[in-house]
């Protein structure tokens, strides 16, 4: 027997032996029982409409593709994903959610926006219990964001984002510094980079007004310094002594020249672009952006891409904003049960795990997971170089912003105050924050919080 | 006989215009009236509205207690609303002036004959065809200090030559003129952000206005210019004393048209500046949209703001008609 024949026979034997195994694996994800779905297909032929933004973004795209292939085969339910640009999504979400005749059944929403549509969402408490969804598999920040800090579950965590420090390992190594654990360390490392004479911006921070992205890192400073937006009586306290210190630290990266002058107008994407294109050494942003750095076309950026938890406050707390996209069902949906059936599949840990493991196609490659079990999964961490482990560490201390409807009116007041401090280098932090606090109080008073 | 037949068929014209009237009533008149009605209510999208006019088992009932002027009084205490009025005013002044002046300049240059001029005239319509939202994104990109073409052009063609000249003067004893900054953050400075927003609008409008002026210039009798030349007028005198007065009707129409469009500025604010820096480019339409559909979902307040804008516009239009058009 020739060597070629022997190898062919061996391969054929292996393929034969692997058949049942492959079948079992395929059966797992194609078996309705795996996801708790009704195998009798009671909703066969139902067409669901899913209102979501940016469905072609890798963090969403994989679920859309797998759902169309697998969920529809198991249930006969087809789901049509919307694809609205992020900039116009908030408005569309509100208009559709408050429309009694909307064609949409399922909605994904940013945590802060959800507060305005809670009354139009189907409460999911009974569903979570009946479907046996392990609520404790979600971190505290994501639980808060899904319930609006109440007892009602308005949405299930779908895509969630901790803040990570994205940094250039080679630059930090060159100045002999470890990744910063605190914001004060960020300043020290930035100064070391400046002193070294390296032709690179120490840190890229977004201070511009654009969907309020200049607040994300400010929250970490504020909470780390031991203060908050409101006290227990909903009085604004971000302008107290700790708030002013936190804000001044946040502004110091710009005022000391560590973040370029142009960052007063940057949005999150533009700040991240500085890192990805090799002009900046550090950036603190959402973890879904990590792949941009690792896939940078500039070899020295991609090869030296490194990630660490978002910094905390020296001698204080480490707390950052855990940003969540919950997914919920509109109360006025005509296909409520079919929509809940879809949520079982969409938020199932097996679905989530398979999505993050599927890293072959760049269009579907995402590191984003929300369940603690998936974040702790060794295989998942192996595929993404331990990124989920870093995310878990951040989420342990993460929290969410005030989840009251009025907060959507307050966000621009705060974002403008931060932008004003950035634009006007001579502005007095205390005075600007005091003025913002007055405006915030005006909104809260009008809403009846102080009656 | 024909007249009597027409009298019998008086319904025909009405039947022909009824579809158009219905569409206008449904898409314009009804929303206008509804917004006026909403503006006297506390009506936020996130909670079920309670309106004064109620139709129930007992028939039509009006609950006067639900009608309020709060939305109107709030507007005049709302610094953001007052700021948006001011921003809109300055944006309108800037964009109208730039569009008309640059449009007129382009028209004077391209009005002469020739194949190249015809091609230029044909190409002029393209900037106007670009969607405003895309215009905003493009301008934001092009003003970027790292890779923006406009930033590069302004630095290379304007700032660096000026600084080179200033450097020569600075070489003289006792002369110290500060050099211009080469790193202007266009969208991070209150004035420049508003100016660039106006420029993005001008980029689209000036060529269209130029085409209107080209048409108007072509309709002026050449003998008038000939007579002026014979009388000894030079080119500048002919332009300011002959051409401009003859273009006055077109200038008025173009100014009015551009003013209306400038007052409606919205798209580029969203995609180019986000209303910033601080509140420097928050136009009134942008702010009303934020109040009604993004932030407070406060339809009552947004409606009241819209009606205040209607009143302001009506006053402007009346002033315009009485001061300018009537004089002609």
Q: Residue B278, by phi and psi: left (phi above 0), alpha (psi -120 to 50) or beta?
A: left
Identify the pLDDT of residue A330: 96
**pLDDT of B133 strictly over 80:** yes
Reference A96, options B41, B81, B293, B272; nearest CA is: B293
Give CA–CA dist A34/B115, Å, rounded.
72
What torsion, rounded to 10 degrees, do the Cα atoms B24, B26, B32, B34 define? 170
Q: Inter-chain contact A209–B144, Cβ cutoff 8 Å?
A: no
Reference A88, options A211, A178, A187; nearest CA is: A211
> What mean pLDDT comes out for the span A245-251?
97
Indicate the CATH number for domain B70-145+185-325: 1.10.3720.10
pLDDT in tens, A279-292: 999 999 999 899 88
**pLDDT of A324 strictly over 60:** yes
Reference A253, options A220, A286, A230; nearest CA is: A220
B148 phi and psi, to 5 degrees?
-80, 130
Query: How many angstroms separate the CA of residue B277 from the nearest CA in chain A?
Result: 7
Q: How many interchain CB pairs under 8 A, A with B?
A: 88
Q: Which CATH architecture has domain A163-321+406-446?
A: 3-Layer(aba) Sandwich (3.40)
**pLDDT of B163 strictly over 90:** no
The pTM for the full model equals: 0.85
B63: confidence class by pLDDT, cuts 50, 70, 90: confident
pLDDT in tens, A167-203: 999 999 999 999 999 999 999 999 999 999 999 999 9
pLDDT in tens, A25-49: 444 778 888 999 999 999 999 999 9
Q: Is A110 on the interface with B (CB under 8 A)?
A: no
Question: Residues B192-227, buried b or exposed e (16+ Cβ, 10 A)?
Answer: bbbbbbbbbbbbbbbbbbbbbbbebbeeeeeeebee
**pLDDT of B106 strictly over 60:** yes
**pLDDT of A335 strictly over 80:** yes
A156 Cβ contact partners less than 8 Å away, ≥ 6 residues apart? A124, A128, A133, A146, A326, A327, A328, A343, A347
For chain B, domain boundaries: 70-145+185-325
Reference A287, options A164, A398, A158; nearest CA is: A164
- Name every chain B residue with its beta carbon within 8 A of the beta carbon of A274: 146
Identify the pLDDT of residue A25: 45
- Name every chain B residue with its beta carbon within 8 A of the beta carbon of A116: 45-46, 297
- Name every chain A residue with its beta carbon within 8 A of the beta carbon of B289: 91
Give CA–CA dist B45/A118, Å, rounded.
12
- Name every chain B residue with its beta carbon within 8 A of the beta carbon of A421: none
Mutate to test the interface with A, among B42, B44, B45 (most CBs of A within 10 A): B45
For chain A, domain boundaries: 22-160+323-392, 163-321+406-446
Residue of A nearest to B193 (CA): A265
DSSP conformation class of B241: I
Reference A105, options A127, A69, A78, A128; nearest CA is: A78
Give CA–CA dist A242/B244, Å, rounded.
63
Q: Inter-chain contact A98–B46, Cβ cutoff 8 Å?
A: yes
Reference A400, options A325, A289, A315, A311; nearest CA is: A325
Q: Is A102 on the interface with B (CB under 8 A)?
A: no
A176 Cβ contact partners less than 8 Å away, ≥ 6 residues apart? A192
Question: Residues B69-81, buried b or exposed e (16+ Cβ, 10 A)?
Answer: eebeebbeebebb
Q: Inter-chain contact A95–B293, Cβ cutoff 8 Å?
A: yes
- Name every chain A residue with its beta carbon within 8 A of the beta carbon of B146: 262, 274, 277, 279
The residues pairing with A307 across neighbouring beta strands, listed in sequence order, are A166
Mutate to test the interface with A, among B74, B134, B294, B298 (most CBs of A within 10 A): B294
Q: Which regions of A312-421 does DSSP assign to beta strands (E)? A: 323-329
- Please tell me the class of the A22-160+323-392 domain: alpha beta
Q: What tokens appear for A118 in the block?
A: 């809670």
- Window from A145-154, A234-243, B313-322 with minimum mean pLDDT: B313-322
Q: Inter-chain contact B185–A261, Cβ cutoff 8 Å?
A: yes
Q: Is A214 on the interface with B (CB under 8 A)?
A: no
- Name every chain A residue with its beta carbon within 8 A of the beta carbon of B47: 119
């Amino acid at each position: 027997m020739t060597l070629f024949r022997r190898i062919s026979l061996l391969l054929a034997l292996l393929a034969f032996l692997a058949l049942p195994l492959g079948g079992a694996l395929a059966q797992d994800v194609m078996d309705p029982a795996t996801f708790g779905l009704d195998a009798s297909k009671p909703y066969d032929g139902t067409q669901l409409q899913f209102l979501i933004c940016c469905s072609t973004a890798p963090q969403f795209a994989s679920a859309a593709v797998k759902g169309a292939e697998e969920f529809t085969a198991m249930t006969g339910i087809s789901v049509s994903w919307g694809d609205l640009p992020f900039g116009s999504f908030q408005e569309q979400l509100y208009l559709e959610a408050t429309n009694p005749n909307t064609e949409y059944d399922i909605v994904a929403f940013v945590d802060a926006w959800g507060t305005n549509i809670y009354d139009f969402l189907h409460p999911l408490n009974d569903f979570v219990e009946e479907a046996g969804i392990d609520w404790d598999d979600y971190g505290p920040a994501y639980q808060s964001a899904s319930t609006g800090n109440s007892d009602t579950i308005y949405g299930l965590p779908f895509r969630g984002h901790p803040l990570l420090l994205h940094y250039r390992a080679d630059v930090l190594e060159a100045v002999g510094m470890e990744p910063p654990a605190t914001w004060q360390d960020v300043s020290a490392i930035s100064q070391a980079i400046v002193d070294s004479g390296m032709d690179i911006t120490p840190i890229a921070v977004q201070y511009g007004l654009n969907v309020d992205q200049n607040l994300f890192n400010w929250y970490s400073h504020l909470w780390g310094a031991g203060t908050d937006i409101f006290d227990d009586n909903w009085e604004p306290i971000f302008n107290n002594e700790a708030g002013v210190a936190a804000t001044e630290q946040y502004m110091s990266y710009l005022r000391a020249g560590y973040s370029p002058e142009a960052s007063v107008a940057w949005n999150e994407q533009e700040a991240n672009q500085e890192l990805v294109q090799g002009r900046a050494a550090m950036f603190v942003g959402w973890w879904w952006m990590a792949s941009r750095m690792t896939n940078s076309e500039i070899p020295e950026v991609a090869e030296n891409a490194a990630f660490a938890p978002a910094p905390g406050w020296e001698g204080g707390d480490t707390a950052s904003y855990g940003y969540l996209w919950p997914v919920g069902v509109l109360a006025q949906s005509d296909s409520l049960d079919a929509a809940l059936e879809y949520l079982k599949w969409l938020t199932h840990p097996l679905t989530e795990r398979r999505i993050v493991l599927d890293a072959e196609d760049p269009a579907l490659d995402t590191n984003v997971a929300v369940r603690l079990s998936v974040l702790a999964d060794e295989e998942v961490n192996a595929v993404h170089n331990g990124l989920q482990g870093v995310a878990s560490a951040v989420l342990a201390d993460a929290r969410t912003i005030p989840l009251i409807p009025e907060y959507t009116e307050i966000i621009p007041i705060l974002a403008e105050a931060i932008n004003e401090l950035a634009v006007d280098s001579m502005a007095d932090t205390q005075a600007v924050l005091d003025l913002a606090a007055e405006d915030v109080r005006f909104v809260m008073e009008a809403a009846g919080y102080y009656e | 006989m024909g007249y009597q037949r027409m009298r019998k068929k008086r319904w025909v014209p009405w039947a022909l215009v009824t579809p158009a009237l219905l569409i206008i009533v449904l898409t314009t008149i009804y929303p206008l009236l509804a917004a006026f009605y909403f503006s006297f209510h506390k009506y936020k999208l996130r909670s079920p509205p309670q309106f004064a006019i109620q139709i129930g088992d007992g028939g039509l009932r009006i609950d006067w207690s639900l009608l309020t002027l709060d939305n109107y009084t709030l507007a005049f205490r709302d610094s953001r609303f007052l700021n948006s009025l001011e921003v809109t005013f300055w944006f309108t002044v800037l964009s109208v002036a730039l569009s008309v002046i640059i449009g007129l300049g382009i028209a004077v240059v391209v009005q002469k004959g020739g194949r190249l001029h015809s091609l230029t005239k044909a190409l002029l319509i393209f900037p106007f065809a670009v969607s405003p939202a895309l215009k905003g994104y493009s301008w934001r990109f092009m003003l970027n200090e790292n890779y923006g073409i406009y930033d590069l052009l302004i630095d290379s063609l304007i700032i660096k030559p000026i600084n080179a000249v200033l450097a020569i003067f600075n070489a003289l004893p006792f002369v110290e003129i500060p050099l211009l900054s080469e790193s202007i953050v266009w969208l991070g400075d209150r004035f420049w952000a508003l100016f660039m927003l106006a420029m993005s609008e001008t980029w689209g409008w000036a060529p269209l206005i130029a085409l209107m002026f080209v048409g108007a210039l072509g309709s002026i009798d050449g003998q008038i210019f000939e007579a002026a030349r014979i009388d000894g007028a030079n080119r500048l005198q002919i332009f300011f004393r002959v051409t401009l007065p003859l273009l006055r009707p077109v200038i008025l129409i173009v100014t009015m048209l551009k003013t209306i469009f400038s007052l409606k500025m919205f798209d580029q604010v969203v995609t180019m500046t986000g209303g910033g820096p601080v509140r420097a480019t928050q136009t009134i339409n942008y702010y009303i949209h934020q109040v009604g559909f993004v932030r407070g979902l406060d339809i009552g307040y947004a409606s009241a703001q819209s009606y205040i804008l209607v009143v302001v516009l009506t006053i402007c239009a009346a002033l315009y008609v009485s001061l300018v058009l009537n004089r002609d």
